[in-house]
Structure formats: C-alpha cells, structure tokens
C-alpha cells in the first residue's frame, strides 16, 4: 500500500509538472488601446511575446497609417519554480485621414512554434469629432483654401492655422501640397490670438500661393504637425518640482495633429477666343509703360519698363515682343516678378519687363502699343490688355540740341537729318578675318618645358661662370697679398745679401757704385717691406712711408742722415774716403735692422 501511495504521489507530481510546462508554452498577443478615435489621436498597439521569440517582431505596413515604435518592456516571472519571460513591444499608430483600418495578424516563431495575433479593426473619425468641446482640444490644426474651383493658371491661397492653448516646446510640420500645382510659400508666418467657444487660442498661420498648371480634381492633403508640448492636465508626480520652474506645471507630451484633407477643382481654360500669343496670365490685370527718355541720339540707350500688375500670379507670363525691325536694337533684361498675398484682395501680382532700346536710325521711333491677352476670371473670357509705350524722337548722332516737344502736326512734318557717322567708331567689316596660314601655326606661343629648361640651363651656366670668376678673382687677390707678405718677410734678407755686394764693390775701390748700390738697397727694402713700388722713391717719399708705417722720428732722422751721408759720398768731387764709406754702409745695415725691429713690434 505504501508503494502504491508513493507511486500516486509521483504521478501527481508528474502531472503537475506537465501541467506547469504546458502552461508556460509560448504565446503571442496583440492589443490596441482603443477601438475608435480621431485623426488627431494616437493609437497604442501592444504586442506581448511570452517565451523565446525568434527575432524582433515586424509591424505590417497599413496605408494612411504612420507607425512609430514606441518602446519595449520586459518582465520575468517565476511561478512554481518555472521561469517565464514576457516582452512587450509598443507601437504608436497615427492615421492621416479618417476611415476604418485593420491591423493584420502579426506572425512570429515562439519556442519553435509558429504563433500569430488576431487582426484588430479600429475606426478613425475626422479631427474634432471625437470631443464636442474645444475645452478638451487644447491643440488643433485646420487648413482652408481661398477657392474651391479655379481655372488652370489662376492662383488660390492655402492657409494653414495652428490653434494652441498649450506651451509648445517643439513642432515638426508636415505641410504637403498636391502635385500639379506650383507652390509659392509666403514668407513669414502670421501670429495672432482668437477666441473660440470662449477659449482663447494662440494662432499661427502659414499661407502659400498655389497655381494649378493642369486641370482636374485635386485632393489637398491635410496639414499635419508633430508637437511636443506641456500638458497641464497631467501634473508632475512631485508638486513644486524643479522642472515646474523651467517649463511650467505639467508633463511633457507629444502629439501629432492633422487637419482634414480638402478638394479643389481645376477647370481648363476655354479654347474659344484664345490666341497663339496668349500671355498665360489668369486673373484681372492692368499694365503701364515707363520710358526713360523720349528724345535721344541714335546709338544711345532708352530704357523701357513694362509693368503688368493685378489680381493673380504673374510668374508664368510670357515676355511681350517688341518688333522694331532695323530701326532699333532691343535687349531684354530678366523679368522681375513679385507676387504677394492680401487678405482682402487675394493674390496680387506684379511683373516688370525691362528692355533696353537702342535706336539705330534718326527720326521718329514708334515703339507702339503692346497688346497682351489674358484670361479674366471675373468675366470668364479672354481680354486684351493694352500698354501704350509711345514714340521716341531720335536725333542723328552728333546733334546736341535738345528735341522740341513733338505735336501731332510736327510729327507729320518731322524730317530727320541725315545720320552723321561717329568719327570715334570705325565701321567693322561683315565677316571675320581670314584664318592664318599653316606655317604660322607651328610655333608654340605658350611657355614650354624646353624654354624653361633652356632658360634655367643658361642661368645655371651663367651662375657657375660668375662663381668661377669670383673664385679666381678672390684667389688672385689673396695671391697678391701673399706675395707682398712674402716679400716683406724676405726684405731684410734680400737687403743684407745685396749689402754684401755693395761691400765687395767697396773693397774693389769702386766707392761710388757701392754707395749707389746702398741707396738702391734702402729703396728696395722700403718698397718690399711696405708693399710699394720702390723704383722712383726719393728721400721725402721714404720719410713719408716710414712716418705712415708709424716709425719713430728718431728712426726717420737716422734714415735721413744715412741717406744724406750716402749722397755726400756719391756726389763728392774727390774720391771718397773708403773708411768713411765703410762706416756709412755699416750705418745702412744698422738702419735696416732698426726698421725691421720696429716693424716687427
């Protein structure tokens, strides 16, 4: 029995375990927070995954629904010792227009088993239909068109207004315009306040001029605005929070507000009555012309401004044609358009055509009347706009006198003087000059690499030559100085050698030759010693040289005495005393040694 009891207990535990394991099998569920809302509302879809999923879920695309992944949360629970894991994926859905939508089944593989959610249907109503009172709508957007039925080329104005009673922190506009329309956004938004149902709203208005360029029925998409704002209806958990001081009371909230879409019908322009030169203007227009001068000389420029203005856009208007033949040259400037929006009158357009007219012949130049066809939307018919530019009196070039006012009678009898050629302007021929012959084409006019190489080579060689010359010059200069130094060093030795010759002459009784030789030795010594030419040195020159070299006056006096003694011996009538000559030669020896010593010091 005890065994049976044990087996029963084991069976129960096994059954419980099986039940528990069955209960923890994977599951996939999808849930939408509400089944009905407006285009301004956000729908939150929560996808709960229990178990181990194979990858991340992929939300299917739904037309006209914007899907944003809002976040993921996880939870782990242990029940009866068994751990289970749940992941919740949140998606925020925003509808761009009203209708009934279906979120299709989302399939995933969980715990190796294919699972899928059930499809969910939800309904989206137009903006403002969800709540009756504006009190509960602190933020909404609306769009309006100035006309619901227009012709091709006729302008209409799209106005988008954002009403708010909350503090907006950030806004991301999504203002779309239909294809097939030219859009000109009017710079600068309008800001004002408006009271609706007793509630004061701050209004921001964005205007744009739309010009349809093809016929048909167009859906103008609703304007959308993603807003981050302070929601005062949801106060912060902690009263008196620091954040209140920064952003005011309330929590930050995000919302996407959308206006309903609109429809505009664009009618084609009637073919009846439309000429080939139809200007493309649609609306109601007037025109005028301004001429800079009514009297000019041939060749001078007259500026003509043709201004077309009125109700309607003028950007697509074709340029008016000025046909003046050979009488004048016409140069057109780029037309200037200025379209603006006036709340009372609608779109106001102005287009200015600036034209430079240069008369080539003297006489009366009749620019005439411009006939501009436009489509009048008020009458529904084509009309002609006439702009009278008038006439210009053209004088011959060189005539300086001012033209008198022209009366109709004068105009009949106006005989222009013959045009005198301007001597300063040489007439050009009718064609270009002939091409150059092929032999003129061979030479290169542009600086070639060969030029650069040749020039650089020449300069380089010249520099080398100059450097070489400079070096040679330096060496020569240095060599000369070295020679002088060498001579100076050897001057005494040379002189002493020569003195031996002088003494030999004295011994051979040739006193005069010996004395002459002694004088020559002094000259040569001084010349060699001081690097000067010694040939023509006189006593005075020798004295000056010694003085210049800084020798003392005693030495100079000694030299003078020796020189005079030598002179006396040289020019004596009687034969000179040999002993005295020997003494004088000794004095010469002594003098040279003294000079040498002084110079050495």
Q: Which residues bind another protein (CB under 8 A)?
A: 331, 333-334, 428-429, 431-448, 450-455, 457-459, 461-463, 465-466, 468-470, 472-473, 476
What gap in Å lies between CA 563 and CA 545, rounded to an integer?
Answer: 15
Residue 431 CB, shortest distance to another protein, in Å, is 8
State whether the Cα torsion 479-483-484-489 is positive or negative: positive
Q: CB nearer to another protein: give 76 or 442.
A: 442
Residue 305 CB, shortest distance to another protein, in Å, is 17
Residue 474 CB, shortest distance to another protein, in Å, is 9
Q: CB nearer to another protein: give 409 or 441.
A: 441
Q: CB nearer to another protein: give 263 or 466.
A: 466
State whether the Cα torsion 74-75-81-82 is positive or negative: negative
Q: CB nearer to another protein: give 12 or 318.
A: 318
Q: b/e per residue, 559-595, with b = 16+ CB within 10 A?
A: bbebbebbeebbeeeeebeeeebeebbebbbebbebb
Residue 315 CB, shortest distance to another protein, in Å, is 13
Residue 408 CB, shortest distance to another protein, in Å, is 36
CA distances (Å), origin 257, targets 34, 42, 46, 382: 18, 9, 22, 43
What gap in Å lies between CA 233 and CA 220, rounded to an integer?
Answer: 34
Residue 254: closest CA among 278, 231, 285, 222 = 231
Q: CB nearer to another protein: give 246 or 425.
A: 425
The radius of gyration of the chain from alpha carbons, rounded to an integer in Å, stands at 59
3-class state of residue 123 by DSSP: strand
Task: Identify whether the C-beta of residue 285 lies closer than 8 Å to the C-beta of residue 309.
Answer: yes
Q: CB nearer to another protein: give 334 or 500.
A: 334
Task: Identify whether the C-beta of residue 193 lies closer than 8 Å to the C-beta of residue 164.
Answer: no
Residue 430 CB, shortest distance to another protein, in Å, is 9
Apex CA 180: angle with CA 177 and CA 185, to 5°? 40
Residue 393: closest CA among 379, 408, 404, 378 = 404
Residue 334 CB, shortest distance to another protein, in Å, is 5
Residue 438 CB, shortest distance to another protein, in Å, is 4
Q: CB nearer to another protein: give 344 or 429.
A: 429
Q: CB nearer to another protein: give 192 or 331.
A: 331
Q: At 280, list the tokens.
A: 């493309």
């Amino acid at each position: 029995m005890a065994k049976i009891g044990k087996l029963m207990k084991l069976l129960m535990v096994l059954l419980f375990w099986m039940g528990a394991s069955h209960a923890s099998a994977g599951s996939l569920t999808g849930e939408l927070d509400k089944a009905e809302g407006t285009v301004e509302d956000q729908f939150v879809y929560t996808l709960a995954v229990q178990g181990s999923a194979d990858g991340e879920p992929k939300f299917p695309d739904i037309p006209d629904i914007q899907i944003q992944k809002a976040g993921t949360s996880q939870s782990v629970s242990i029940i009866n010792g068994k751990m289970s894991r749940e992941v919740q994926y949140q998606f925020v859905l925003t509808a761009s227009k009203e209708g009934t939508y279906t979120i299709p089944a989302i399939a995933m593989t969980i715990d190796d088993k294919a699972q899928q959610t059930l499809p969910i249907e939800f309904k989206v109503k137009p903006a403002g239909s969800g709540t009756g009172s504006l009190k509960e709508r602190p933020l909404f957007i609306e769009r309006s068109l100035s006309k619901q039925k227009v012709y091709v080329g006729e302008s209409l104005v799209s106005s988008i207004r954002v009403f708010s009673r909350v503090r907006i922190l950030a806004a991301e506009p999504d203002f779309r315009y239909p294809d097939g329309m030219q859009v000109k956004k009017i710079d600068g938004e309008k800001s004002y306040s408006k009271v609706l149902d007793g509630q004061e709203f701050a209004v921001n208005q964005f205007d744009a001029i739309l010009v349809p360029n093809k016929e048909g029925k167009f859906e103008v998409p609703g304007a959308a605005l993603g807003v981050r704002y302070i929601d005062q209806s949801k106060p912060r958990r902690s009263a008196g929070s620091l954040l209140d001081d920064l952003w005011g009371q309330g929590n930050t909230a995000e919302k996407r507000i959308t206006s309903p879409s609109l429809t505009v019908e664009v009618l084609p322009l009637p073919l009846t009555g439309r000429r080939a030169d139809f200007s493309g203007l649609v609306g109601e227009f007037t025109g005028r012309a301004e001429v800079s001068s009514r009297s000019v000389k041939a060749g001078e420029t007259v500026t003509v401004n043709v201004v077309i203005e009125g109700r309607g856009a003028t950007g697509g208007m074709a340029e008016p044609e000025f046909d003046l033949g050979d009488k004048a040259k016409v140069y057109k400037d780029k037309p200037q358009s200025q379209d603006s929006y006036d709340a009372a009158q609608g779109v106001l357009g102005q287009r200015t055509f600036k034209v430079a007219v240069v008369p080539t012949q003297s006489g009366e130049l009749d620019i005439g009347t411009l006939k501009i066809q436009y489509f009048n939307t008020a009458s529904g018919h084509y009309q002609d706009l006439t702009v009278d530019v008038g006439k210009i009196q053209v004088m011959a070039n060189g005539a300086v006198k001012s033209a008198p006012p022209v009366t109709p009678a004068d105009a009949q009898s106006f005989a222009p003087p013959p045009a005198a050629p301007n001597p300063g302007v040489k007439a050009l021929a009718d064609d270009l000059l002939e091409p150059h012959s092929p032999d003129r084409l061979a030479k290169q006019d542009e600086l070639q690499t060969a030029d650069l190489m040749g020039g650089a080579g020449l300069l380089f060689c010249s520099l080398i030559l100059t450097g070489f010359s400079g070096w040679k010059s330096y060496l020569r200069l240095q060599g000369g100085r070295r020679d002088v130094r060498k001579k100076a060093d050897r001057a005494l030795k040379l002189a002493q050698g020569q003195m031996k010759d002088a003494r030999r002459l004295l011994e051979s009784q040739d006193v005069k030759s010996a004395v002459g030789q002694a004088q020559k030795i002094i000259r040569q010594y001084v010349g060699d010693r001081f690097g000067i030419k010694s040939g023509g040195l006189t006593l005075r020159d020798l004295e000056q040289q010694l003085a210049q070299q800084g020798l003392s006056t005693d030495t100079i006096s000694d030299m003078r005495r020796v020189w005079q003694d030598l002179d006396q011996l040289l020019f004596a009538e009687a034969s000179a005393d040999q002993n005295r000559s020997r003494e004088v030669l000794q004095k010469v020896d002594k003098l040279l040694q003294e000079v040498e010593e002084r110079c050495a010091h």
